[in-house]
Amino acid sequence: MSLILLTTLGAGDYHEATYCWKDYPPHSTKLVSAALAQWFPEAEIKVLVTPLAVKKNGALLHELLPQHQPLPIANGETEEDSWNLFQTVADAIPEDAEVIFDVTHGFRSLPVVTLLALSYLRIVKKVSLRAVVYGAWQPGQETTPIFDLTAFVALLDWAQAAEQFLRTGDARPMTTLMSTPDVESLQDLKEPLEHISASLAFQRPIQTARNAQQLRKQIAKVKKQKLQHPVMSLMLDHIEDRFSGIAHGDDAFKDRHQQVIKSQYAQLRFYVRGGQYAQAIELAYEWMRSLQMWKLGRPQGQGLWLDAKRLKPDAMAQSDFKPMELWNEFFRVQEQVRLLRNAFAHFNEYKKEFNEELADPSALAQQVEHIILSLLPAAVRPLGLELEPPTAAEAKA
């Protein structure tokens, strides 16, 4: 893996300074990049240079960094200049390279665009950022510290990992980041995240509710500690809020409490938000049966599941639950859910038994969203169950 020192040349005045960073020996020079080159002699030096910078400080650059490779760029006066800068960086950094990026003398939007380019290259070229640094020179200082800004770049990784977890329930990117020593305060979240991720993946609503409760409790404990990166509390707040509707304790299971029904509906919405339509419709079918059991009641000492025959409309008409007219919309939606569940379970191989529109995956996704977010709440409202309405984002989708 090659190491590249990517730096910039400014058009201002440079002054002698003694740069200090970590345990490296202090180095006196007019260019912070020269100090970095001294500390990392194996690095290949690439310098982004504008015409103004070359005119003003080109000679100094050649004097202090004679082995550098110049990367000519425009002065950054137009949007096109920014895109050309992006392409220059992308072309200059080889695949699997490791980069130290010095932003000290970046001009205008150059540091931002370059950092975005490097973030992009981390994915498409498997580039890794060893450090992002800034030399904080001020007049009259005996020594000039170099600030390590790498942790701020890591926040992008955390944001992406958190987004994937909140969207799909896959916590693997987050737990991988928690394995690094600089986030020791988050270590206690690793196991609860792994547990809820697995229960969501394997559609275990009871375990998901318990694990969500445990995760929220653990987040509360972690937030009382001093986090290495305080802004991560915002991420934890978001996770805690997302699972608040799903989480509940074991006491809710004793009488198949309404809270269990609402918790499982929150899981349905979670699957829909993440585009996991097969999981959503499969759980929806079982959820509707659970709701029937809840409304019919469970004889003392009987197991969790009722005889399936008791849940059919004809059998329910003979039960004590009246009037049956309240169930009409419920049974209509339940039949739609049943057909969709079979379509997913059999990979739509038996098309003749289903509506032809099921052959269109995009139409199928819209139909699942409509059932979960709109039809189900309307169908159970006459039965005395008021579900949380769709969010503005869900309604727009």
Map tokens 């098309």 to a residue: 351
Of 43, 140, 242, 111, nearest to 119 (Cα)? 111
The confidence score (pLDDT) of residue 85 equals 87
User: 9: part of which helix (H) or strand (E)?
Assistant: strand 3-9
User: Considering the entire predicted model, what is its pTM?
Assistant: 0.76
Instruction: Let me know: does 53 contact 10? Beta carbons within 8 Å.
Output: yes
Local confidence pLDDT in tens for the 397 residues of the chain: 799 999 999 888 889 999 999 999 999 999 999 999 999 999 999 999 999 899 999 999 999 999 999 999 987 778 888 899 889 999 999 999 999 999 988 777 778 888 888 888 988 999 998 999 999 888 878 899 999 988 888 888 888 899 999 999 999 999 998 887 777 778 889 999 999 999 999 989 889 999 999 999 999 888 887 776 666 788 888 898 889 889 886 665 555 578 888 999 999 999 999 999 999 999 999 999 888 877 776 544 444 444 555 556 665 555 555 567 788 899 999 999 998 888 787 765 545 555 555 567 777 888 899 999 999 999 999 888 898 766 655 555 5
**Distance separating alpha carbons of residues 251 and 166, to the nearest angstrom:** 26
Q: Residues 304, 307, 311, CA angle at the centre, nearest 5°?
A: 105
Rounded to a whole number of angstroms, the CA Rg of the chain reads 30
Enter the tokens of residue 182. Answer: 């600089």
The confidence score (pLDDT) of residue 302 equals 44
How many H helices and E strands in the chain?
16, 8
Q: Residues 173, 174, 175, CA angle at the centre, nearest 5°?
A: 95
The confidence score (pLDDT) of residue 289 equals 87
The confidence score (pLDDT) of residue 116 equals 86
Give 3-148's CATH code, choosing from 3.65.10.10, 3.40.309.10, 2.40.40.20, 3.40.50.10640: 3.40.50.10640
Torsion of CA 366, 368, 374, 378, to 10 degrees: 150
**Distance separating alpha carbons of residues 299 and 97, to the nearest angstrom:** 67
**Distance separating alpha carbons of residues 353 and 131, to the nearest angstrom:** 59
The DSSP annotation for 127-161 comes to -EEEEEEEE---TT-SSEEEEE-HHHHHHHHHHHH
Cite the residue boundaries of each domain of the chain with CATH code 3.40.50.10640.
Answer: 3-148
The confidence score (pLDDT) of residue 300 equals 44
Instruction: Let me know: does 317 contact 356? Beta carbons within 8 Å.
Output: no
The confidence score (pLDDT) of residue 169 equals 92
Helix (H, G, I), strand (E, B) or coil at 47: strand
Please give the backbone phi and psi of residue 166, each rounded to the nearest 5 degrees, phi first. Answer: -70, -25
Map tokens 């080889």 to a residue: 94
The predicted-structure confidence for 313-370, as pLDDT tens digits, reads as follows 665 555 555 567 788 899 999 999 998 888 787 765 545 555 555 567 777 888 899 9
Instruction: Let me know: does 99 contact 128? Beta carbons within 8 Å.
Output: yes
Query: What's the 3-state SS for 245-290?
Result: CCCCCHHHHCCCCHHHHHHHHHHHHHHHHCCCHHHHHHHHHHHHHH
Instruction: Let me know: does 4 contact 98? Beta carbons within 8 Å.
Output: yes
Identify the DSSP state of 349.
Answer: -
Q: Residues 227, 232, 236, CA angle at the centre, nearest 5°?
A: 105
Largest CA distance in the chain: 95
